[in-house]
Chain A
Amino acid sequence: DAGVTQSPTHLIKTRGQQVTLRCSPKSGHDTVSWYQQALGQGPQFIFQYYEEEERQRGNFPDRFSGHQFPNYSSELNVNALLLGDSALYLCASSLVAGSGEQYFGPGTRLTVT
């Protein structure tokens, strides 16, 4: 049973560019959440997708957008990259009717230069 997978593993971008990160949830899960983890800090909630709609959003600007596909996989897009966007981006999946825990992928390390 495959867990949560994310791609790519690492990414280097230049300020002002755009980036797309991808996530496949754990088999059977229908909800995907995205988190940003800056170095030395806890994960910060970006947004959550269920039934292909954004259900809740954290305190992140509109430069951060996402999408969920019919197969429950998800993308995180970040436009006009800033140096401060450098972080580990974590995807977590869960079951809306489940017991509440989220399962995390290994993350994508984004470096903005």
Chain B
Amino acid sequence: AQSVTQLGSHVSVSEGALVLLRCNYSSSVPPYLFWYVQYPNQGLQLLLKYTSAATLVKGINGFEAEFKKSETSFHLTKPSAHMSDAAEYFCAVRSSFNYGQNFVFGPGTRLSVLP
């Protein structure tokens, strides 16, 4: 069975500081990994995805994530936080791209950006 843990339900950073949101997964097969962002009262927007190509994945809005198989991690980073980055971030895992393979989401991390 697949599962996702996100360490830290709430992370606060100062504007301009490094953003690090942690994600660890459990999967019996090589996983496909995703990060989504959710702004208040909105649906989820895809930030980036790992599909077994390059281990360092670049996404939108300056975010990137690195897949580390030995640590079963897929942490999300951004070198310099912006006020507009304040939102809820979800890590998700999927075992394959075959239909019927659903996403398993983590509980989410709320990012606050302080001026």
Q: A107 — which chain B residues lie within 8 A by C-beta?
A: 42-43
How many of B's residues come within 8 Å of A, CB to CB? 25
Residue ID in chain A nearest B101 by CB atoms: A56
Q: Does B12 contact A (CB under 8 A)?
A: no
Number of residue pairs A-B, CB distance < 8 angstroms: 64
A99, B44: Cβ atoms closer than 8 Å: no
Q: A74 — which chain B residues lie within 8 A by C-beta?
A: none
> In the complex, A9→B32 CA distance in Å?
31
Q: Does A96 contact B (CB under 8 A)?
A: yes
Give the interface segment out of A12-20, A43-51, A79-87: A43-51
- A residues near B (Cβ < 8 Å) are 4, 31, 33, 35, 40-45, 48, 50, 55-56, 58, 90, 92, 96, 98-107
For the complex of A and B, the 8 pairs showing the least CB-CB separation, nearest first, are A42-B105, A104-B43, A100-B97, A56-B100, A104-B44, A55-B100, A45-B102, A106-B43
